[in-house]
Amino acid sequence: MARSFIATLFSLFASTALWVPRAAAQTNEGSVYGPLPVFEFHSGFWVNLHHTLYQEAKFGPSPGSPTGADNDKAPGKNRPTLKSSPSAKSTLTPAEQRAWNEALSYYAANYVDKDLLFTTELILIKNQLGDFDGCDELSGRKKETCNAGLPANLTHVLEEAAPVYRAHQWPSHDLANRRWVMRVAPLVREQGLGLSQRLADIYQTKWPKEKIRVDVCAYANRQGAYTTLDPLRVTISSIDPRNQDVEALEVLFHEASHGIAEPVQQAIIRECRQREKGIPRDLWHALIFYTTGEVIRPVISTTTTDTTSGKVSTTSYTPYAIREGIYARGWDGYFKLLTQFWQPYLDGNSTFDDAIARMVSAL
């Protein structure tokens, strides 16, 4: 069963248009802004349902939900219940409540102890649901090409929960996703190609030829976004405050950089082995945070002129890792290394190999 499930997941291909769920009007982002470089945005029904069930089964209702839950989000602290869309019916029917409770119980029993980023099973499920976001079903009972090949129990749970989600949460989630894309797409169109080329040059590799699929969801993971490989796909939350407006551009390119950062990882490992040093667990990740922030900084920083005084002022962009205090969580030493040895490479005053060697030597 496991082998056939995985084989099915890898054998099927994405078939949906740019961020257009089947039930929605057939208008895509590309028709508004023109073709986008680098990324392809999707607001898919099934991927959003999957992440919503995982979120509520693991953490319970979010603050401000109709259930009045301003409680801690500790797993299992409160029985998860559905948060309703403001435009939807305010209460569930008994049948809807049973279907939603069944779905939450299934996710609680099977998935909440697994990580969306590191568990192969959840990665495969997420990818497969994304590939079938143009279908109204997953079992293929109505349409053979909509048989997603998922485990029977999961298929049943998702199909039973789908009408409840569609009536109570999907309208507001899809609207939030589409509004997020409308805000971010102009930035991607304007800066995407240049940023991707710059980052690929820094990491001494090539940017992927195919556009990177971005599943825009109300909920992603606790970090607000994550990336899975083979195929390279980004999942990002449209409602997470860390992912809004110009900051979203950095989050997108940070996540995408996970797909091209192998030369950095390998160079650090190789240098550590040559010097008989332990391999630092997260230096490569800190480097990605730092690099994306520094590459994005001059692009996002704005210069304005006061029309009265003629005085010119510049508003500097604060990179994500600094803004969110990432380095202060045990990476302060890495930040110093990156500032001292990696920044000269970014400025063109050092080579890639020299920068890596000096960082490792200073560990």
| Integer Cα distance of 23 and 299 in angstroms | 37
Q: Which pLDDT does position 92 carry in this prediction?
A: 85
Q: Are residues 271 and 235 in the same domain?
A: no
Q: Which amino acid is at 155?
A: T
Q: Are residues 238 and 266 in the same domain?
A: no
And the tokens for 130?
């994304």
Residue 219 inside a domain? The answer is: yes
Residue 134 inside a domain? The answer is: yes
Q: Which pLDDT does position 281 carry in this prediction?
A: 87
Residue 57 inside a domain? The answer is: yes
For the cut 70, the answer to whether the pLDDT of residue 310 exceeds it is: no
Q: Which helix (H) or strand (E) holds 356?
A: helix 352-361
Q: Mean per-residue pLDDT for 237-260?
A: 95
Q: Mean per-residue pLDDT for 219-239?
A: 95
| DSSP label at residue 241 | G
And the tokens for 360?
């490792």
And the tokens for 162?
């789908």
Q: Using 50, 70 and 90 to split pLDDT, how confident is the model at 90?
A: low
Q: Which pLDDT does position 187 carry in this prediction?
A: 92
And the tokens for 275?
């010097």
Domain boundary among 206, 229, 257: 257
Q: Which pLDDT does position 28 carry in this prediction?
A: 40
Q: Are residues 100 and 161 in the same domain?
A: yes
Q: Using 50, 70 and 90 to split pLDDT, how confident is the model at 300?
A: confident
For the cut 50, the answer to whether the pLDDT of residue 8 exceeds it is: no
Query: Are 108 and 195 in contact, with CB atoms under 8 Å apart?
Result: no
Q: Which amino acid is at 195?
A: L
Q: Are residues 169 and 90 in the same domain?
A: yes
Q: Are residues 253 and 271 in the same domain?
A: no
Q: Are residues 348 and 285 in the same domain?
A: yes
Q: Which pLDDT does position 65 carry in this prediction?
A: 37
pTM above 0.85, yes or no: no
Cβ neighbourhood burial of 13 (10 Å; 0-12, 13-18, 19+) = exposed
Q: Which amino acid is at 138?
A: L
Q: Are residues 239 and 287 in the same domain?
A: no
Q: Are residues 155 and 227 in the same domain?
A: no
Helix orientation angle between 170-202 and 283-300, rounded to the nearest 10 degrees: 100
Longest Cα pair distance anywhere in the chain, in angstroms?
A: 72
Query: Are 306 and 315 in contact, with CB atoms under 8 Å apart?
Result: no
Q: How far is CA 259 from CA 9, 165, 233, 285, in A?
A: 20, 32, 9, 12
Q: Which pLDDT does position 15 carry in this prediction?
A: 30
Cβ neighbourhood burial of 158 (10 Å; 0-12, 13-18, 19+) = buried
> What is the sign of the dihedral through the CA atoms of 58, 63, 64 and 68?
positive
pLDDT digits (tens, 9 = 90+) for 96-116: 999 999 999 999 999 999 999
Q: Are residues 249 and 357 in the same domain?
A: no
For the cut 60, the answer to whether the pLDDT of residue 167 exceeds it is: yes
CA-based nearest residue to 22, from 46, 40, 41: 46
pLDDT digits (tens, 9 = 90+) for 177-221: 999 999 999 999 999 999 999 999 999 999 999 999 999 999 999
Lowest mean pLDDT segment, chosen from 11-15, 166-170, 190-194: 11-15
**Percentage above 70 pLDDT, the chain:** 78
Q: Are residues 56 and 88 in the same domain?
A: yes
Residue 4 inside a domain? The answer is: no
For the cut 50, the answer to whether the pLDDT of residue 81 exceeds it is: no
How many domains does one find in the chain? 3
Query: Are 199 and 207 in contact, with CB atoms under 8 Å apart?
Result: yes
Residue 35 inside a domain? The answer is: no
Q: Are residues 246 and 333 in the same domain?
A: no
Q: How far is CA 2 from the centre of its chain?
A: 26
Q: How far is CA 95 from CA 99, 160, 163, 168, in A?
A: 6, 10, 11, 14
Domain boundary among 161, 176, 191: 176
For the cut 90, the answer to whether the pLDDT of residue 82 exceeds it is: no
Of 158 and 4, which is predicted with more confidence?
158
Domain boundary among 117, 147, 176: 176
Query: Are 179 and 35 in contact, with CB atoms under 8 Å apart?
Result: no
Structural domain including 189 reads 183-257
Q: Mean per-residue pLDDT for 226-245?
A: 95
Q: Are residues 220 and 273 in the same domain?
A: no
Q: How far is CA 339 from CA 171, 178, 335, 345, in A?
A: 45, 37, 6, 10
